């Protein structure tokens, strides 16, 4: 029987229904009918964007979620949100992939067996049979991830009103920072920086451009003063004191490499130098200066800072102890810069609620009957000397809400599946107090709950409707806030100036440093968010900005330290402290502080999804609650074993080639035309394209002064362009697929970053060697790839001087489950094996803008469009637009004097121009 | 070429009948070893096709190639085989046109070698494609979508040049074979053999007209084949020379590649002929003088190749382009693949200098060893050319490494087996020393 059209459509819609609902527990057996009247906001084929927000370290960051036919596919920062201003980091963007993680918890488990939420309510609900229900909550203890959510605050209040004797605690938190502020100001305050007014920035071990809380906003603001338009311009100056080479250290003008435990001494010496310069700071600090090995450095920096008094911002990193934060407070106070101190928006900040040791003591004492851990993973995060596992085992019931089966889930009696950030209702609060709604981008794929939902259930709500609760919390303002993604006028009032208790500072000044031997510097890995995202392959295959290592962590050693220990790259060393020891491979890095071993934390997970336990070593055996980050006095010895590491860039010596141009501002002033020769096209035999009718012409500018290497652009590109991940073994073979990479080159003044992707050459060497015309030039200046026509000779890649082309050596998508394919951007082809691919300038966005301009009758200049990488760059180092429009930002930047064509002499006429990296070193300092 | 006294092209006393008997002997009374050789090489060929099937199904990720070294073993071996293919046509066509009588004993072996080497070479460009099932897109055929190949690409011409070369070589070889197939038919010992040889002899009746047409067309095909000897490898060289890669972007490549190809081809002829004349006791027709002449031509082409090397390095230094200087003067002699470079220099430049000595040229053992070393050296030339240029080009951030995979080695070993298999079949079933042309020597 021949199928009729109706039969065909019926089968098709049934297939579509079956596919679309896969993974849902609440299977809707209803009929699928087409829209009779289409809702005006939904246009098939066009993405819908919803404003929501996520918590990063507990602070809210506004995001816009792009959904295609109901699948969220990509995240961008919300330009209206103060913590984002449109930018988003790598780890935040990669959360979209988690939504489709095949390992996520799908059902509630009680003692390992599936159970219903009603069973949970019967036990822990308002009339539940848990013993604390009738004892005012005595024996109920909740542990939450840090949060600033107003809704959650209200739910906690409700819970505590019902169970006044329950205890609510939080994990993590910047405890040392709050404690320092408590000592200096009497309150646990947090610094707020206005870097748009800072001309001198000092970072004491703070990676404020890639990892510190709120780094996205700090990067945005830092760029305002950093960006230099011409040789007569002004730019800020950044000093960094740190052990491991962080993106902030690379972006800085001066980087002093010292082991993590010496940072406080350098800070104190700086304070001493200010005292010497006559500033009203404790005179005792001069002793620190006098015995400092970096006295000349501190004095030179202090002269510079004093000269710029009122415009200096000092950051102290979250790894540093209280004393260092006190020194930072003193420096900021003495220099009077654009730094204010305000209460933290985090719930319970600076209180005993963040005291992990107290929690463990309470557990160990048997005072806790039911321990509820909500989206926090103490079994992995707490240092093992606290003895979490044995203490937690004393609680009779261990309720754990988690997205993935993590380490804490292993011993949970009730394991509750969490909803994803994009399946939930709620709210967040940013560093400055601005509240933002959390709204779902997709109907929940599993029958889970959020911490808010669990809190409401514990407080007696049988079926919590969080949207309703949110509406009750915010009233009419919610409807106004949902489309915009922020609650207007919720930012905290500017904080008043506070007086510093100088005695507290003087007491905190460090005594002379004893020789600590080799120091182990544990460094947070911003990619995996300290291991929390170790299951996310986009982040595991994202090259670490400076070493370009993927998947593993390593013992990073300075060349001199490695030579002294007699080890080289990939040699396995044993790092021992007392009885505890870990073994991990060495990576030698110029710029790493001598006498210190830097290791990223968050690797070697025992659980937490299929990928999390793979590759890397857990450092927690060497961690203690007292010294969680900086561990002095470790022994390191070679073991003779080797362990292969994968790096995407094995060579970083520029061989003297003029590829990454860098000048100091002073040199630029002396020779303003230094880049012009490299911006002048060489003679060419190839025909010009000027005979082509000039339509709009797209182009890009990469400002290397502003690139901090944070790699947000790389993940944006991955999400936008469906870039496959290939695994460690293939990366080792040199087959990573990222279209956009951030190269790092060593130089006399330290390393520097160079974002590199297809530069869309006007006379593209790839085009004339392709035997089948699979790569060709578009009318608007894009070097295009026609995947369907590519046979895979790879000649184009050979002839590409920038080596930005990527080849599908194997079928990378083989074995993807349907649900995994749902994150793919339907506007971009998923490439099959055997074809070449590369950056397209996000051509799908450009064509969309063209259609919009044509149908709307608007000039293309009036349609806002940019590439995914440029959209998300926190510092605005990537600028995309119409080079044919002289008024466009990209045209202005292209015309600047330090614009140049990378490999200009090869005669490729790249459309993308790089701006030379301009540095602003202190003339009194030699390095 | 002046003939030194005593160096004759046919040794001994022969008449037409005895010479025919002698030269048909390998076909009629095959050496007992040939069966074993066929078995071993046939298994190797089977491995080749199994491996190719695996590559087609899985994808070329099973090779060691990567970015930046996007062309690895497949293209190295492709160029190596194509080069080996050159001496055959050189001996049979150019020497025919130049009326060099000494070619007559060698031309069938050399042409067979050419054909089989080009077959091996032709496998690689298809095998190395990301999507080999679309290889025909490189051929200019009128399609309904009016899609043509991109004629600026050297690869398009490469495809055309190699297929032309194969066709002409096959015709030339087969046509030259016809009178001898007739001889084999006439002396066949079984009915089946007579029918098969008769089929391929195309009704050759030894008439004067046949001979006249045969001779004419041989000359015509030689005339067609001669420019191909020069053009094929020139076009192969343009796969490299038209690119921008330091170490590839060079004007000298066409003549340099042709010289290198003939060099390796002569070496391969020596490698094959020396054991053959011993095994089949053919010292009468494959005389020391033949070997001497081959050795001298090997020496000459070695000098041309050496000159090309010197010129490459000189121009890299003299031209002063930073990237080229790095590739040629730092990367090749001192980089991570320097061993390959020095093997190439020793085998291609220094070892052939031994051929200045008449004693070396007279020693078959020495000649055989030298010929093998030359083939090794020429393989490393292609390795050095392809790997060192690609692994370190312009941006140091993209510098990479290259290690061939097991599959790479299996395919390479497979093509060597397949080549030897085909060559053994030739020896077994076809008079591999031309009978007719040697009989001409008698008259």
Q: Which residues of B touch A727 (CB under 8 A)?
A: none
Per-residue model confidence (pLDDT) at position A663: 94
Interface contact B395-A835, CB threshold 8 A: no
Stretch A7-29: mean pLDDT, rounded?
Answer: 50
Contact A238, A203 (CB under 8 A): yes
Whether residue B417 lies inside any domain: the answer is yes
Tell me what pLDDT residue B280 has. 81
- Segment A630-659 mean pLDDT: 93
Give B197 to chain A, closest Cα distance, Å: 42
Structural domain span for residue B163: 28-136+154-442
**Position A9 in a domain:** no
**Residues of B with CB below 8 A from A744's CB?**
397
Measured in angstroms, the CA of A407 and the nearest CA of chain B are apart by 36
- The closest CB to that of A655, out of B138, B243, B396, belongs to B396
- Averaged pLDDT of chain A: 90
Identify the helix (H) or strand (E) that includes residue A587.
Answer: strand A580-588
DSSP state of B201: T
* CATH number of the domain bearing residue A559: 2.40.40.20
The total domain count for chain A is 4
In a domain, B18, yes or no: no
Closest Cα in chain A to B395: A802
- How much is the pLDDT for B9? 67
Within a domain: residue B189?
Answer: yes
Contact A273, A289 (CB under 8 A): yes
> Where do we find the tokens 């620190």?
A288
pLDDT of A478 reads 92
Rg (CA), chain A: 28
Interface mutation vs chain B, best among A734, A805, A808, most B CBs within 10 Å:
A734
Nearest to B70 among A730, A743, A797 (CB): A797
| CATH number of the CATH domain containing A330 | 3.40.228.10
To test the contact with chain A by mutation, choose from B392, B395, B402 the residue with the greatest count of A C-beta atoms within 10 A, namely B395
- Return the higher-pLDDT residue of A691 and A698: A698
Query: Is there a domain that residue B143 lies in?
Result: no
Is A801 contained in some domain?
A: yes
d(CA B373, CA B367): 10
Residues of B in contact with A772 (CB under 8 A): 134, 137-138, 149-150
Query: How many residues would you count in chain A?
Result: 927
In Å, how far is A907's CA from the nearest CA of chain B? 10
Residue B200 lies in a domain: yes
Residue A333 lies in a domain: yes
Q: A226-266 pLDDT, tens per residue?
A: 999 899 999 999 999 999 999 999 999 999 999 999 999 99
A834–B150 C-beta distance less than 8 A = no
How far is residue A30 CA from its own chain's centroid? 42
What residues of chain A lie within 8 A of the CB of B145, using their CB? Answer: none
Among the residue ranges A10-24, A693-707, B394-408, the one predicted with the least confidence is A10-24
User: Residue B68: is the preceding peptide bond cis (ω within 30°)?
Assistant: yes
| Packed helices B154-186 and B208-241: angle between N→C axes, nearest 10 degrees | 150
Average pLDDT over residues A332-338: 91
Does the residue A363 lie in any domain?
A: yes
Contact A836 B130 (CB under 8 A): yes
Which chain A residue's Cα is nearest to B238?
A: A769
- Which token pair is B78? 């492709």
Q: Residues A213-222: what's their mean pLDDT?
A: 94
Tens digits of pLDDT across chain B (443 residues): 444 444 566 666 777 777 777 777 777 777 777 888 899 999 999 999 999 999 999 999 999 999 999 999 999 999 999 999 887 788 878 777 777 777 777 888 888 899 999 999 999 999 999 999 999 999 988 888 888 999 999 999 998 999 999 999 899 889 888 988 988 888 888 899 899 999 999 988 888 999 999 989 988 988 888 888 888 889 999 999 999 999 999 889 999 999 999 899 889 999 998 988 888 888 878 888 888 988 999 999 999 999 999 999 999 999 888 899 999 999 999 999 999 999 999 999 999 999 999 999 999 999 999 999 999 999 999 999 999 999 999 999 999 999 999 999 999 999 999 999 999 998 888 888 887 777 776 66
Distance, CA of B247 to CA of B252 (rounded, Å): 11
Is there a contact between B153 and A768 if contact means CB atoms under 8 Å apart? yes
The whole-angstrom separation of Cα A875 and Cα A218 is: 9
Q: Report the range of poorest mean pLDDT among A454-458, A856-860, B144-148.
A: B144-148
Helices (H), B140-252: 154-186, 191-200, 208-241
Quick one: what percent of chain A has pLDDT higher than 90?
74
Chain B CB contacts of A650 under 8 Å are 399-401
Q: Do the domain assignments include residue B23?
A: no
| Contacting A residues, span 817-836, partner chain B, CB-CB under 8 Å | 832-836
Nearest-CA neighbor of A630 among A250, A190, A243, A204?
A: A243
**Over 60: is that where the pLDDT of A25 sits?**
no
Q: What is the DSSP letter of A910?
A: B
Q: What is the CA radius of gyration of chain B?
A: 23
In whole angstroms, give the CA distance from residue A213 to residue A202.
17
What pLDDT is stored for residue B145 in this prediction?
81
Nearest CB partner across the interface for A811, out of B59, B128, B152: B59
What are residue A836's phi and psi, to 5 degrees? Answer: -90, 150
* Residue contact A833–B61, C-beta within 8 A: yes
Q: In sequence order, which ranges of B65-187 are alpha helices (DSSP H)?
A: 73-84, 86-89, 95-97, 107-127, 154-186
- Whether residue B9 lies inside any domain: the answer is no
Range of the domain at A85: 35-173+350-474
Residue A925 lies in a domain: no
Same domain flag for A336 and A199 = yes
Q: Are A228 and A666 in contact (CB under 8 A)?
A: no
Predicted local distance difference test score (pLDDT) of residue A32: 64
Q: Are A404 and A535 in contact (CB under 8 A)?
A: yes
Chain A interface disruption, residue of B55, B60, B61, most A CBs within 10 A = B61
> Is the minimum CB–CB distance between B70 and chain A shorter than 8 Å?
yes
- What number of C-beta contacts closer than 8 Å exist between A and B? 165
Give the domain-ending residue among A442, A474, A506.
Answer: A474
Give the best residue of B131, B397, B408 to mutate against chain A (max A CB count within 10 A).
B397
> Is the CB of residue B178 less than 8 Å from the CB of residue B430?
no
Residues of B within 8 A of A809 (CB-CB) are 59-61, 65-66
Residues in chain A with CB shorter than 8 Å from the CB of B71 are: 794-795, 798
Q: What is the pLDDT of residue A23?
A: 44
CB contact under 8 A, B130 and A791: yes
| DSSP, res B243 | S
Q: Do A165 and A197 share a structural domain?
A: no
Domain match, A383 and A395 both: yes
Q: How far apart are CA A918 and CA A914, in angstroms?
A: 12
Residue A233 shares a structural domain with residue A159: no
Chain B hits for A755, Cβ within 8 Å? none
A811 in contact with B at a CB cutoff of 8 Å?
yes
Residue B333 lies in a domain: yes
User: How many other C-beta atoms are found inside a 10 Å radius of the C-beta of residue A97?
Assistant: 20
Same domain, A450 and A531: no
- Any chain B CB within 8 A of the CB of A2? no
How far does B129 lie from chain A, in Å, by closest CA?
5
Contact A298, A159 (CB under 8 A): no
Three-class SS state of A329? helix
Highest mean pLDDT among A112-126, A500-514, A689-703, A706-720: A706-720
DSSP letters, A96-148, are HHHHT-TTS--S-EETTEE--HHHHHHHHSTT---GGGGTTTTTEEEEE----
Please tell me if residue A704 touches chain B, with a CB cutoff of 8 Å.
Answer: no
Which of the listed residues A294, A325, A343 is the one where a domain comes to its end?
A343
pLDDT band at A3 (very low <50, low <70, confident <90, very high): low
B390:A798 CB<8 A:
yes
Q: Name the pLDDT band for A819 (thresholds 50, 70, 90).
A: low
Angle between helices A451-458 and A117-124 (to 10 degrees): 50
Nearest to A745 among B137, B138, B397 (CB): B397
Residue A425 CB coordination number (10 Å):
23
Domain count, chain B: 1
Residues contacting B303, CB < 8 A, separation 6+: B352
Residues 425-454 of A with CB under 8 A from B: none
Specify the pairing of strand A662-664 against strand A917-919: parallel
Q: Where are the beta strands (DSSP E) in A717-842?
A: 741-745, 752-756, 775-777, 783-785, 806-807, 836-837
In chain A, residues with a C-beta closer than 8 Å to the C-beta of B135 are 791
Contact A906 B149 (CB under 8 A): no
Q: Do B130 and A835 touch (CB under 8 A)?
A: yes
Scanning B397-436 for CB atoms below 8 A from A yields 397-401
Instruction: Judge whether A281 lies within some domain.
Output: yes
Model confidence over A550-602: pLDDT tens digits?
Answer: 999 999 999 999 999 999 999 999 999 989 999 999 999 999 999 999 999 99
Tell whether A775 and A831 lie within a shared domain: yes
Rounded alpha-carbon distances, angstroms, from residue A232 to A296, A668, A865? 29, 9, 32
Q: Are residues A95 and A206 in the same domain?
A: no
Question: Which residues 148-187 on chain B approach chain A with CB closer than 8 angstroms?
Answer: 148-150, 152-156, 159
Query: Could you tell me whether strands A414-417 and A109-110 are parallel, antiparallel, or unpaired per DSSP bridges?
Result: antiparallel
- Using CB atoms, which residue from A652, A769, A803 is nearest to B67? A803
Residue A71 and residue A132 in one domain: yes
Q: Single out the residue of A766, A828, A752, A832 nearest to residue A803, CA to CA.
A: A766
With contact defined as beta carbons under 8 Å apart, do A209 and A250 qualify?
Answer: no
pTM for the whole structure: 0.91
Taking CA atoms, what residue in A is nearest to B137? A772
Residues of B within 8 A of A751 (CB-CB) are: none
Residue A242's contacts (CB-CB under 8 Å, 6 or more residues apart) are A203, A205, A207, A248, A249, A255, A256, A257, A258, A260, A263, A317, A593
Contact (CB<8Å) A765/B67: no
Q: Which residue has the tokens 């600590």?
A: A516
- CATH number of A751's domain: 3.30.70.20
Asked if the ipTM is above 0.90, the reply is: yes
Query: Kind and range of the H or E element at A663?
Result: strand A662-664
Residues A159 and A181 in one domain: no
Residues pairing with A343 in the sheet:
A189
User: Does B395 contact A at CB distance below 8 Å?
Assistant: yes
Residues 745-804 of A with CB under 8 A from B: 745, 754, 756, 765, 768-773, 789-795, 797-799, 801-803
- Choice among A201-215, A777-791, B15-29 with the minimum mean pLDDT: B15-29
């Amino acid at each position: 029987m021949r199928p009729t059209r109706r039969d065909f459509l019926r089968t098709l819609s049934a297939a579509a229904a079956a596919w679309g609902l896969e993974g849902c527990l609440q299977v809707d057996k209803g009929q699928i009918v087409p829209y009779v009247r289409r809702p005006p906001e939904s246009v098939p084929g066009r993405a819908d964007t919803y404003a929501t927000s996520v918590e990063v370290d507990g602070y809210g960051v506004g995001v816009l979620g792009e959904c295609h036919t109901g699948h969220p596919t990509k995240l961008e920062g919300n330009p209206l949100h103060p913590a984002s201003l449109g930018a988003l980091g790598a780890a935040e963007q990669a959360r979209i992939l988690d939504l489709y993680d095949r390992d996520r918890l799908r059902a509630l488990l009680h003692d390992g067996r599936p159970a219903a939420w009603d069973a949970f309510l019967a036990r822990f609900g308002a009339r539940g049979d848990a013993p604390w229900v009738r004892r005012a909550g005595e024996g109920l203890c909740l542990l939450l991830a840090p949060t600033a959510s107003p809704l959650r605050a209200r739910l906690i209040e409700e819970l505590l009103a019902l169970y006044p004797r329950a205890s609510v605690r939080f994990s993590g938190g910047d405890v040392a920072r709050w404690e320092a502020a408590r000592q200096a100001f009497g309150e646990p305050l947090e610094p707020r920086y206005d870097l748009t007014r800072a001309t001198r920035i000092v970072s004491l071990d703070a990676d404020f451009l890639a990892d510190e809380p709120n780094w996205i906003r700090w990067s945005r603001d830092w760029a305002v003063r950093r960006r230099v338009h011409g040789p007569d311009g002004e730019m800020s100056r950044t000093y960094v004191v740190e052990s491991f080479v962080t993106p902030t250290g690379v972006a800085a003008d001066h980087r002093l490499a010292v082991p993590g435990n010496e940072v406080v001494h350098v800070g104190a010496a700086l304070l001493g130098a200010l005292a010497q310069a006559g500033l009203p700071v404790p005179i005792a600090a001069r002793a620190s200066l006098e015995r400092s090995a970096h006295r000349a450095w501190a004095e030179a920096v202090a002269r510079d800072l004093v000269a710029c008094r009122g415009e200096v911002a000092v950051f102290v990193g979250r790894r540093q102890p209280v004393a260092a934060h006190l020194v930072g407070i003193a420096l900021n106070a003495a220099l009077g810069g654009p730094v204010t101190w305000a209460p933290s928006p985090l719930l319970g900040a600076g209180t005993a609620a963040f005291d992990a040791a107290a929690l463990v003591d309470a557990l160990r004492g048997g005072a806790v009957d039911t321990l509820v851990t909500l989206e926090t993973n103490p079994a992995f995060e707490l240092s093992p000397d606290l003895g979490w596992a044995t203490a937690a085992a004393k609680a009779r019931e261990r309720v754990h809400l988690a997205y993935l089966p993590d380490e804490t889930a292993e011993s949970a009696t009730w394991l509750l599946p969490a909803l994803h950030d994009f399946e939930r209702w709620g709210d967040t609060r940013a560093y400055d107090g601005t509240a933002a709604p959390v709204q779902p981008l997709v109907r929940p794929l599993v029958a889970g709950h959020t911490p808010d939902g669990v809190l409401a259930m514990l407080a007696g709500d049988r079926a919590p409707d969080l949207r309703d609760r949110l509406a009750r919390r915010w009233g009419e303002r919610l409807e106004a806030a949902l489309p915009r993604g922020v609650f207007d006028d919720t930012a905290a009032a500017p904080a008043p100036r506070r007086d510093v208790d100088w005695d507290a500072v003087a007491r905190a000044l460090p005594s002379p440093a004893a020789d600590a031997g080799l120091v182990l510097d544990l460094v947070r890995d911003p990619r995996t968010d300290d291991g929390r995202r170790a299951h996310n392959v986009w982040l595991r295959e994202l090259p670490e900005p400076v070493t370009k290592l993927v998947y593993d962590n390593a013992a990073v050693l300075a060349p001199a330290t490695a030579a002294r220990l007699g080890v080289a790259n990939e040699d396995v060393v044993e790092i021992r402290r007392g009885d505890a020891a870990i073994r991990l491979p060495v990576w030698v890095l110029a710029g790493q502080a001598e006498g210190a071993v830097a290791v990223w934390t968050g690797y070697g997970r025992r659980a937490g999804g299929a990928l999390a336990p793979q590759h890397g070593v857990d450092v927690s055996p060497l961690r203690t609650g007292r010294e969680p980050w900086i561990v002095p006095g470790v022994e390191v010895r070679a073991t003779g074993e080797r362990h292969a590491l994968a790096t995407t860039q094995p060579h970083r010596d520029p061989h003297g080639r003029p590829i990454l141009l860098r000048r100091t501002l002073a040199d630029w002033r002396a020779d303003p035309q230094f880049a012009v020769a490299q911006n002048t096209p060489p003679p060419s035999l190839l025909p010009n394209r000027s005979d082509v009718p000039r339509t709009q012409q797209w182009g890009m500018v990469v400002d290397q002064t502003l690139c901090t290497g944070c790699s947000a652009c790389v993940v944006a590109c991955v999400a936008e362009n469906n870039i496959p991940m290939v695994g460690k073994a293939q990366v080792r073979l040199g087959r990573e697929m990222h279209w956009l990479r951030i190269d790092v080159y060593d130089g006399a003044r330290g390393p520097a970053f160079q974002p590199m992707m297809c530069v869309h050459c006007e006379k593209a060497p790839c085009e004339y060697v392709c035997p089948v015309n699979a790569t060709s030039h578009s009318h608007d200046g894009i070097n295009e790839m026609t995947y369907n026509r590519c046979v895979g000779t790879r000649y184009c890649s050979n002839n590409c001087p920038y080596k930005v082309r990527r080849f599908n050596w194997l079928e990378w998508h083989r074995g993807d489950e349907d649900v995994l394919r749902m994150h793919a951007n339907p506007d971009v082809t998923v490439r099959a094996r055997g074809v070449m691919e590369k950056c397209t300038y996000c051509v799908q966005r450009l064509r969309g803008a063209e259609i919009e301009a044509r149908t709307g009758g608007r000039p293309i200049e009036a349609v806002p469009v940019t590439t995914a990488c440029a959209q998300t760059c926190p510092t605005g180092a990537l600028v995309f637009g119409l080079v044919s429009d002289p008024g466009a930002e990209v045209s202005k930047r292209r015309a600047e004097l330090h614009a140049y064509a990378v490999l200009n002499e090869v005669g490729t006429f790249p459309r993308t121009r790089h701006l030379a990296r301009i540095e602003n070193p202190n003339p009194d300092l030699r390095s | 070429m002046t003939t030194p006294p005593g160096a004759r092209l046919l040794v001994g006393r022969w008449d037409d009948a005895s010479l025919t008997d002698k030269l048909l002997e390998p076909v009629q009374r095959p050496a007992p070893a040939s069966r074993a050789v066929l078995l071993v090489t046939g298994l190797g060929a089977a491995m080749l096709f199994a491996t190719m099937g695996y590559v087609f199904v899985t994808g070329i990720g099973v090779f060691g190639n990567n970015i930046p070294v996007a062309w690895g073993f497949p293209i190295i071996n492709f160029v190596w085989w194509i080069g080996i293919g050159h001496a055959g046509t050189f001996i049979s066509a150019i020497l025919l046109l130049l009326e060099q009588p000494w070619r007559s004993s060698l031309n069938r072996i050399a042409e067979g070698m050419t054909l089989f080497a080009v077959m091996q070479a032709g496998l690689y460009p298809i095998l190395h494609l990301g999507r080999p099932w679309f290889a025909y897109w490189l051929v200019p055929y009128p399609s309904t979508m009016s899609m043509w190949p991109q004629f600026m690409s050297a690869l398009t011409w490469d495809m055309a040049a190699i297929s032309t070369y194969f066709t002409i070589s096959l015709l030339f070889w087969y046509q030259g074979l016809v009178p001898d197939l007739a001889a084999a038919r006439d002396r066949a010992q079984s009915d089946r053999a007579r029918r098969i040889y008769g089929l391929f002899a195309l009704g050759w009746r030894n008439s004067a007209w046949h001979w006249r047409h045969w001779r004419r067309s041989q000359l015509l095909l030689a005339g067609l084949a001669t420019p191909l000897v020069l053009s094929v490898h020139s076009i192969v060289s343009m796969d490299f020379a038209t690119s921008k890669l330091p170490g590839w972007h060079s004007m000298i490549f066409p003549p340099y590649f042709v010289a290198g190809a003939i060099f390796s081809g002569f070496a391969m002829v020596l490698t094959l002929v020396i054991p053959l004349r011993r095994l089949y006791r053919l010292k009468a027709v494959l005389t020391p003088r033949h070997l001497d002449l081959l050795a001298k031509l090997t020496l000459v082409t070695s000098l041309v190749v050496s000159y090309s090397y010197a010129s490459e390095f000189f121009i890299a230094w003299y031209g002063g382009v930073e990237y080229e200087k790095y590739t040629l003067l730092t990367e090749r002699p001192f980089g991570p693949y320097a061993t390959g470079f020095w093997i190439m220099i020793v085998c291609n430049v220094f070892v052939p200098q031994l051929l200045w000595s008449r004693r070396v040229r007279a020693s078959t053992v020495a000649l055989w060893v030298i010929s093998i070393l030359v083939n090794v050296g020429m393989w490393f030339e292609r390795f050095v050319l392809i790997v060192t240029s690609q692994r370190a080009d312009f941006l140091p951030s993209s510098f990479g490494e290259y290690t061939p995979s097991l599959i790479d080695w299996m395919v390479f070993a497979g093509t060597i087996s397949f080549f030897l298999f085909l060559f053994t079949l030739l020896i077994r079933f076809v008079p591999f020393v031309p009978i007719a042309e040697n009989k001409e020597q008698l008259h």
